[in-house]
Amino acid sequence: MKDKKKYSLLYIEDETYLREAVVDFFEDEFSIIYQASNGIEGFEIYKNHKPDMIITDIEMPLMNGLEFCEKVRHDDTTTPIIIMSAYSHTHYLLKAVELNLIKYLIKPIDETLLDEALNLCFEKMETKTPSIINLGHEYFYDLFNHALTHNNAHIKLTALQIKLIENLIKNQGNIVSYEQLENSLWYEEGMTLEALRCLVRDIRKVSYKNIIENVSKVGYRVNING
């Protein structure tokens, strides 16, 4: 785990034993850890202390985690938030994407996955790079959750389609050559130009024609409207 000692954390969880266990796990990683047992208490702490990072459960009394995140996101679009739930409801996942959350983790929490999510938060704070990319026409790509959405509906993508979109996004503003894409996507098997064209066509079919622009005889670039 990277050193986060200079950052503060707000952790919201209504189950006392679980909250105390997680705080113990994090105690050497943050400068200070604020604790709350519900969204109302958590929002008061957020307003008063402006923590660098937030982890919250969803199912809580008085104000649940999604309601809390909506209140935070009303004025704050940048503070990294990880949300946790015992349920893998599609509605919750889509709401997490809509609210620009870093990660949606399923309980019981795997320590490795939690550590990865924390490092994503740390990276976001260090680089100040957005995790939600506006691709135009109400299409958004969530880099941290590897999800394409349109009007808050999730669009299913293959692993190769995800790799292509993320490769283009990470090189936004530049044309990515056919050779670069071959090395990134088909480094073991080799790529035909027709296979790449088919991959691009399939992404356009589930989104829109100009989401990926072809630069003749050179390569591709992605449409960024964010």
**Same structural domain, 139 and 72:** no
Asked if residue 3 is part of any domain, the answer here is: no
Tally of domains in the chain: 2
Asked if residue 145 is part of any domain, the answer here is: yes
- Residue 59's domain comprises 8-129
Asked if residue 2 is part of any domain, the answer here is: no
**Same structural domain, 31 and 102:** yes
**Same structural domain, 46 and 115:** yes
Q: 204 or 27: whose pLDDT is higher? A: 204
Question: 40-66 pLDDT, tens per residue?
Answer: 999 999 988 888 889 999 888 888 888
Question: 180-202 pLDDT, tens per residue?
Answer: 888 778 766 667 888 999 999 99
**Same structural domain, 16 and 119:** yes
Asked if residue 156 is part of any domain, the answer here is: yes
Domain boundary among 95, 129, 163: 129
**Same structural domain, 62 and 28:** yes
Rounded to two decimals, the pTM is: 0.58
**Same structural domain, 120 and 163:** no
**Same structural domain, 125 and 160:** no
- pLDDT score for 2: 47
Alpha carbons 183 and 15: distance in angstroms, whole number: 48
**Same structural domain, 65 and 160:** no
- pLDDT score for 206: 95
CATH number at residue 180: 1.10.10.10
Domain boundary among 89, 107, 129: 129
Domain boundary among 129, 147, 165: 129
Q: 48 or 101: whose pLDDT is higher? A: 48
